[in-house]
């Protein structure tokens, strides 16, 4: 990336590339309560997550899919979930996000 390039000109995937993840696939650090998620009208988690961890389920638009392995561990999802349907904790044993730069 040259000095004239702006971070804002990059795609989300390119911006996240500067991070390294060590995901714990056997013990995800994010879980959602499907029943609470189903009753949520706003689904703020779809818009608040800077890493795009939450996406609508293509088979059931009332549900949310979680890609915990991309989580930046900011906790925004937990803070804005009005239904308290997001169970979030730090990953076990030093796993999770490892910032490459900065």
**What's residue 48's pLDDT?**
93
Does the residue 64 lie in any domain? yes
Beta bridge partners of 56: 64
Task: Return the C-alpha torsion angle 30, 87, 96, 67, nearest 10.
Answer: 20
> What is the per-residue pLDDT across 1-42, written as a single tens digit (0 to 9) for each?
454 456 567 777 777 767 777 788 888 899 999 999 999 989
**What's residue 5's pLDDT?**
54
Whether 92 has a pLDDT exceeding 70, the answer reads yes
What's the CATH code of the domain at 80? 3.30.70.20
Does the residue 39 lie in any domain? yes
**What's residue 99's pLDDT?**
72
pTM: 0.76
- Apex 81 CA angle, 41 and 9, nearest 5: 95
- Report how many domains make up the chain: 1
Contacts for 74 with CB less than 8 Å, ≥ 6 apart: 50
Does the residue 80 lie in any domain? yes
């Amino acid at each position: 990336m040259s000095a004239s390039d702006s971070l804002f000109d990059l795609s989300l995937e390119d911006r996240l590339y500067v991070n390294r993840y060590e995901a714990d696939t056997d013990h995800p650090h994010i879980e959602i309560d499907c029943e609470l998620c189903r009753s949520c009208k706003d689904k703020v988690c779809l818009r608040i997550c800077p890493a795009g961890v939450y996406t609508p389920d293509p088979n059931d638009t009332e549900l949310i899919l979680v890609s915990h392995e991309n989580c930046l561990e900011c906790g925004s999802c937990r803070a804005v979930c009005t239904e308290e349907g997001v169970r979030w904790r730090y990953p076990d044993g030093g796993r999770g996000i490892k910032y490459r730069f900065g």
